[in-house]
Chain A
């Protein structure tokens, strides 16, 4: 799933019948951090400063169905890989993105990524060896 912010809504009367009256929200993907890893490690980017997604995604957007009454301005979690199959009644729907949670609070600390160059797992092994 990805984090995003609801920035708008789409109205469409001509639609695949299986979409029903599903609400369609325009979501700006966020939670993409920029710039490169090195600058994060050197402390130039403060923890919690996450780019809007504007540069990382080239100002892309996505449209997701919403059943949780998310509003414009809400931060949301969007499911991308399952919605086509996830419908009551067992029939697949032609939807590739759906809001699966409306965020109350998000805490992200990019410094948890550790020192540049350290591969996953290595940090832990060194601690055990020299701890």
Chain B
């Protein structure tokens, strides 16, 4: 999984039927250096996440400015399929999903070992 900040939302009318009703968020991954030593409060001003934007399915109602935890691959399909088709195999065409909304992150200041 990776930590990122919700930067926006994606709307789409033309999409795979299995994903209808699924909210899609634009998430900017954090670089390790941005997760500065000390607590990072959700909603606090973050210093320059990367320019990458990942489109993630969202079932936790995260919104712009929220810090989120995103899972890739099969894990993302597992996250999403339970809501879309409970009990069915996780076969949705999704590869990234928000699995948690972050309250707090603490990073120790790093020392070379």
A residues engaging B (CB < 8 A)?
5, 7-16, 18-19, 24, 26, 28, 52, 54, 58-64, 72-73, 75, 83-85, 92-97
Contacts and interface: CB of A to CB of B under 8 A. Distances in A.
B74 interface: yes
A62 B1 contact: yes
B18 to A, nearest CB: 17
A10 B33 CA distance: 15
B26 interface: no
Contact of B104 (A11, A14, A18): A11
What is the interface of chain B mostly: helix, strand, loop, or mixed? mixed
Given A11-B102, A61-B35, A62-B1, A96 B60 contact: no
B108 A94 contact: no
Given A15-B60, A95-B1, 10 more contacts: A8-B35, A9-B106, A10-B3, A26-B3, A28-B110, A54-B32, A61-B2, A75-B113, A85-B74, A94-B75
What is the interface of chain A mostly: helix, strand, loop, or mixed? loop
B62 to A, nearest CB: 8
B103 A11 contact: yes
Contacts of A60: 2, 29, 31-32
B15 interface: no
Nearest to A87: B78
Contact of A83 (B75, B106, B112): B75
B1 A59 contact: no
A30 B24 CA distance: 32
Contacts of A95: 1, 71, 75, 99
A96 B32 CA distance: 19
B2 A62 contact: yes
Contacts of B1: 24, 62-64, 95-97
Interface string B92-113: 0000010111111111101011
B110 A7 contact: yes
Name which of B30, B31, B79, B82 has the most chain A CB atoms within 10 A of its CB.
Answer: B79
B73 interface: yes
The 4 lowest CB-CB distance pairs between A and B, nearest first, are A94-B79, A8-B107, A15-B100, A12-B100
